[in-house]
Structure 1
Amino acid sequence: MTPLTYTLVVNGPLYGSQSARSAYQFARALIQKGHTLVSVFFYQDGVTNGTALSVPANDEFDLAKAWQSLAVEHHVRLETCVAAALRRGILSEEEASQHNVFKDNLAGEFVQAGLGSLAEAMLTQDRVIQF
């Protein structure tokens, strides 16, 4: 088997649908099979996966923290679409400053990126899969 490079596109919110959790499980499975997950691009409601303000109940799976751990363990870029994130109140430190917003709330290990980053992934990765 030849290892492949992947980018995942997550459109589903942090909670409220199975999309983001399925993407996370798929990410873990492809890494376990020896493939490389280069990046995860969070788009539309998927940008909510990048919030630093999520506090799930003690008995619930903390998907936001799981994404962060995956990024650290496997050197995966976690990118939130900057336009979609701004519309949904997810701001990096830089964006908060630029828009005169009191506080940023983008979780650690996440960065904000434009659609050009997704376009580049579509051109350079072996597979791009949307959830």
Structure 2
Amino acid sequence: MKFGILINEGPYNHQAADSAYQFCKAALDKGHEIDRVFFYHDGVNNATKLTEPPQDDRNIVQRWSKLAEEHGVDLVVCVAAALRRGIVDDNLAAGFRISGLGQLVESGIRSDRLVTFGD
């Protein structure tokens, strides 16, 4: 099965990013495909390399970058939501790219299921 993923919440203020990451890992481990992960609204905060969690906390941004590197997952950040939050190409973490809402629509069309995490 091919999944498209939509994340609407930031990495540390809501469980959505952790749940989405765990869902993606489990799906890939079971042989499913992740077409694209689209970060929207506060979810774009998952993409900034400026995040510095404490040493004893998980690094959600780094997890996403590693997932993209190891599995070729397309991590797309909504341009309008990113710019509103001061996120530009210069401060994107590895594996992320900025694009428009058309990428979300395309993922919804190409995927068997579009799964949303966060409000």
Report the TM-score, using the length of structure 2 for normalisation.
0.96
Partner of 1:127: 113
Pick from 73, 78, 95: which aligns with 1:76? 73
Aligned sequence identity (%): 47
**In 1: Cα distance, 2:109 partner to 2:61 partner:** 27
Report the TM-score, using the length of structure 1 for normalisation.
0.87
Structure 1 residue runs of 4+, over 2 Å off? none
Consecutive unaligned residues in structure 1, runs of 5 or more: 93-103
Aligned pairs for 1:21-100 (under 5 A) are: 21-92=18-89
Q: Which is greater in Rg? A: 1
Consecutive unaligned residues in structure 2, runs of 5 or more: none
Equivalent residue letter for 1:121: S
**In 2: Cα distance, 1:122 partner to 1:78 partner:** 14
- Give aligned pairs, total: 117
Given that residues 81 and 113 in structure 1 are in contact (C-alpha distance below 8 angstroms), is that contact kept between their aligned partners in structure 2? Answer: yes
